[in-house]
Chains A and B, each alone.
Chain A
Amino acid sequence: GAVVSQHPSWVICKSGTSVKIECRSLDFQATTMFWYRQFPKQSLMLMATSNEGSKATYEQGVEKDKFLINHASLTLSTLTVTSAHPEDSSFYICSARDPVAADTQYFGPGTRLTVL
Chain B
Amino acid sequence: SQQGEEDPQALSIQEGENATMNCSYKTSINNLQWYRQNSGRGLVHLILIRSNEREKHSGRLRVTLDTSKKSSSLLITASRAADTASYFCATDEGAQKLVFGQGTRLTINP
Q: Which of A's residues lie within 8 Å of B, judged by CB?
A: 1, 6, 32, 34, 36, 41-46, 49, 60, 91, 93, 95, 97, 103-110, 112
A109: chain B residues within 8 A (beta carbon)? 41-42
Stretch at the interface among B12-20, B55-63, B68-76, B99-107: B99-107
B92: chain A residues within 8 A (beta carbon)? 103
Closest to A93 in B: B42
Which of B30, B40, B42 makes the CB contact (< 8 A) with A107? Answer: B42
Other than the given A6-B42, A105-B33, 20 more pairs (CB < 8 A) read: A1-B45, A32-B96, A36-B100, A43-B88, A43-B100, A43-B103, A44-B100, A45-B2, A45-B100, A49-B96, A93-B42, A95-B98, A103-B33, A103-B48, A103-B50, A107-B42, A107-B45, A109-B41, A109-B42, A110-B41
Number of B residues with CB within 8 Å of any CB on chain A: 25
Which of A32, A49, A60, A107 makes the CB contact (< 8 A) with B43? Answer: A107
Q: How far is the CA of A101 from the CA of B78 in the complex (A)?
A: 30
Contact A93 B100 (CB under 8 A): no
Contact B97 A93 (CB under 8 A): no
Given A43-B2, A91-B40, A112-B40, does the pair A103, B97 have CB atoms closer than 8 Å? no
B35: chain A residues within 8 A (beta carbon)? 107
Which of B30, B88, B99 makes the CB contact (< 8 A) with A103? Answer: B30
A44: chain B residues within 8 A (beta carbon)? 43, 88, 100
Interface residue B31 (Cβ < 8 Å from any Cβ of A): yes
Expressed in whole angstroms, the minimum distance between the Cβ of B2 and any Cβ of chain A is 6
The 10 A-B pairs with the shortest beta carbon distances in the complex, nearest first, are A109-B42, A107-B43, A44-B100, A43-B100, A107-B42, A110-B42, A43-B102, A43-B103, A108-B42, A46-B97
Closest to A105 in B: B98
B33: chain A residues within 8 A (beta carbon)? 103, 105
B1: chain A residues within 8 A (beta carbon)? 60
The contact string, 1 if C-beta is below 8 Å from chain A, for chain B 29-52, is 011010100001111110010100
A46: chain B residues within 8 A (beta carbon)? 97-100
Q: How far is the CA of A45 from the CA of B96 in the complex (A)?
A: 15
